[in-house]
């Protein structure tokens, strides 16, 4: 059910993103420029607003600019496919953005003496890196790894919702969201490792 919802949501986003992507390409904007712009926007939202406790503004800015992850990929596809450098740049900028988001959250929670939330943010940062690494390593070995309930967009949306709810007065909402995110991220790592293990076993028996 979660996978069906995920696919449906992404299909809906694609219908929104494709006209914007076409317009940017016609204007001469490159997918790489969108990638970098999106990362800068996330940094502004996370470090300029979230780390200072302006959680609603920070979450909204991060969410808007995080969606450029869909936009640059769509632009690359429309312009003939992603280049090797474009794929490398996209992955690298994602790690920069994720580090800024969870670093800013951990910093603000520390200023509020919510150390359980700080621990959750650090677990999310580590587990999120593992989610991406496991996929990259599997693909580098010639296997597929397109599984998991918590991909990058979903992870940022979960922490964003927690930030907004805390910003409007639900004091522990961000902490709860972070522990939820930590759990689903760790589960996703397990899903991907099991998926790769099954592929490796099949290859070994052929």
Catalytic residue numbers?
94
What does the block give as tokens for 178?
Answer: 């972070």
Closest by CA to 73, choosing from 85, 90, 97, is 90
d(C-alpha 115, C-alpha 118), whole Å: 5
DSSP 55-104: HHHHHHHHHHHHTHHHHHHHHHHHTTS--HHHHHHHHHHHHHHHHHHHHH
d(C-alpha 52, C-alpha 105), whole Å: 9
d(C-alpha 177, C-alpha 180), whole Å: 5
């Amino acid at each position: 059910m979660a996978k069906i919802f995920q696919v449906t949501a992404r299909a809906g986003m694609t219908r929104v993103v494709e006209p914007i992507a076409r317009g940017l390409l016609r204007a001469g904007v490159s997918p790489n420029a969108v990638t970098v712009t999106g990362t800068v926007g996330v940094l502004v939202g996370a470090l300029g607003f979230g780390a200072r406790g302006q959680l609603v503004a920070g979450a909204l800015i991060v969410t808007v600019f995080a969606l450029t992850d869909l936009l640059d990929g769509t632009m690359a596809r429309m312009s003939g496919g992603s280049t090797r450098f474009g794929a490398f740049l996209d992955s690298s900028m994602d790690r920069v953005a994720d580090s800024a988001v969870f670093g800013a959250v951990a910093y603000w929670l520390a200023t509020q003496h919510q150390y359980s939330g700080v621990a959750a943010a650090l677990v999310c940062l580590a587990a999120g890196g593992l989610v991406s690494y496991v996929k990259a390593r599997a693909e580098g070995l010639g296997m597929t790894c397109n599984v998991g309930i918590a991909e990058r967009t979903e992870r940022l949306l979960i922490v964003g919702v927690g930030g907004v709810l805390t910003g409007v007065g639900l004091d522990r909402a961000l902490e709860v969201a972070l522990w939820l995110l930590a759990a689903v991220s760790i589960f996703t790592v397990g899903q991907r490792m099991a998926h790769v293990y099954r592929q490796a076993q099949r290859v070994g028996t052929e």
